[in-house]
Amino acid sequence: MKHIVKTMIAVLALTGFAATSQAADFKPRIVRFGYGLNEDSNQGRAVKYFADELGKLSGGKWKVKGFGAASLGSDPQMQNALIGGAQEMMVGSTATLVGIVSDFGVYDLPFIFANEKEADTVLDGPFGQKLLDSLQPKGMVGLVYWENGFRDLTNSKRSINKMEDMQGIKLRVMQNPVYIDMFKGFGANAVPLAFSELFAALETKTVDGQENPLTTIESSKFYEVQKYLTITHHVYSPWIVTVSKKWYDGLSADEKAALKKAATDSRDFERKDSREASAKALTFLKQKGMQVTTVSEPELARMRATTTPSVDKFAADGHAQVVKDLQAELAKLRK
């Protein structure tokens, strides 16, 4: 008898969450999960992974429906829908959250993360969590960070090898003052615009260029309307998965736990997938006819030095503490 009980406990422990969740407290729910990129992108694939995972964890009771290509609106529009309770979930850039919690601009400081490992450690650690938590009083619950990636530059005008080559280039940036200041500093004509309007703006030459990770340049087909690609890696850009707090507050403890588990699993899936896709993207973009230049190390150092005033401005603008905290975290890692 004792033996049987022991075996049962062991089996339960092994099957773990999946087994307990069958009997757990799940209501049938439809979750609208909006995102900006195409379905066939690292973002779309991870939303699908998340949806499948949560379907399983809820014993089929939850139906997560992905809405890609900004079909539910731009990042800021979806954020408002979450706050109002009209939409349950979204994933988008942390950069577009600055209208809600301006401290999020800290991730956009130029050349702040040296590599993906640093980003993972900081984002998944106490620093990243504190920023996730800061969204709750504003009506959103931050679950996890996914990888958007290191950002590079494309344009239709000319090959860029140094800062001066950006002079007069009309460059779309995210709706975020750190980006506007950074690219003005480089000499470009920085134009804030929603991602959902970007392809059309590039196609009609309303803007000459944009900056995004290689994965997005591929999945959004920017290579069709952009000739020149410049590898700068000027910012490591996270995505953030958020849910409506109004909606979240009505979930059971089991539902909340499943949501968190699916989010964390999808994060691990997404980062691996993004890194694999990124490694292949450069070859693909060259095949599509993009002309690629890589900015030299000394030139990158010059660019970094040029951004000092924009970093100082951000700090002076009420963000001294968050900048200091991030720098302290990074110093710890680099020791």
Query: Which chain residues interact with ligand TK8 by CB under 6 A?
Result: 36-37, 75, 92-93, 148, 174, 195, 212, 216, 237
Q: Which of 209, 230, 222 is nearest to 303 (CA)?
A: 230
CB of 323 to ligand TK8, least distance (A): 22
Pick the closer one to ligand TK8 by CB: 146 or 247: 146
Pick the closer one to ligand TK8 by CB: 21 or 42: 42
Residue, CB closest to ligand TK8: 36
CB of 114 to ligand TK8, least distance (A): 20
Pick the closer one to ligand TK8 by CB: 24 or 171: 171
Q: Is 178 in contact with 310 (CB distance < 8 Å)?
A: yes
Q: Is 172 in contact with 198 (CB distance < 8 Å)?
A: yes
CB of 226 to ligand TK8, least distance (A): 14
Pick the closer one to ligand TK8 by CB: 92 or 185: 92
CB of 36 to ligand TK8, least distance (A): 2
Distance CA 175, CA 210 (A): 13
Q: Which of 274, 161, 163 is nearest to 216 (CA)?
A: 274
Which two structure tokens, joined as six digits, stand for 299? 């030139």
CB of 242 to ligand TK8, least distance (A): 12
Pick the closer one to ligand TK8 by CB: 236 or 269: 236
